[in-house]
Amino acid sequence: MAKATLKVILLNHTKQPEETIAHAAKLCYSPASIGELKNQIEKFNNEKFVEKLLQLGHLSPLEHAVFTFGVEGISRACSHQLVRHRVASYSQQSQRYVSERSKKDHEIFEFVIPPSIEASGKKGWFIDKMREIQNWYDELVEVLGDSGEKSNEDARFILPNAAETKIIITMNVRELLHFFSVRCCERAQWEIRNLATEMLRLTRKVLPSVFSQSGPNCVKGPCTEGKMSCGNLEEVRKKFRNL
């Protein structure tokens, strides 16, 4: 079996992100040169200053700090949702250049099994269907005849949304706040919610002045989902306080 498991790695981020954010914010209001500001900022408590920016709603300076993540074990269904967040950069593993043919140590292509399917007792049935699709894919590659990308690019049309993908994501801090506000919400689809929550856990370690209170909108205020609310306000708040 080739069941995929979510894995998120923080590959890189702006060094000293609070200094970068503070520099961008102070430049807006100071007659000092950039060099003079840099010297001043290095002596300040930038964590407190960044917290104040958030309170004031002055968020554009946050765009100068970025985080880059490596993600494995998500489905194509999840990546289709992910790339709707357009203020970001993505590099995704290609099904055109990377073959999904079965191998001795890789009987079936990697895929994601939704928890509801496991809970329904259909896990074995689902795996059998993935194995069938693998056979169809292998058959198509043979029929199409060409080696490499030519056969892969058309054989991939038969692969399901469950197929695992790998992706590199770069987002600035302001966009991450928005991403977490909608994708950590209980109303978000389970897979992208798990991804967003893990990304938040990693960013919070690096930039707590920004991300310590981040998460779905209900973490800092009332639920914004109206009649569609999950109804678990205190439970969700506790989860993100203890993340």
> 62, 64, 61, 71: which is closest to 9 by C-alpha?
71
- Long-range residue pairs from 145-153, CB within 8 A, at least 24 positions apart, any chain: 148/97, 149/96, 149/97, 152/95, 152/96, 152/97, 152/98, 152/99, 152/100, 153/95, 153/96
Q: Is 204 a catalytic residue?
A: no
C-alpha to C-alpha distance for 55 and 75, rounded to whole angstroms: 37
Q: Which of 174, 183, 193, 204 is catalytic?
A: 183
DSSP 8-state assignment for residue 222: S
Q: Which residues are catalytic?
A: 183
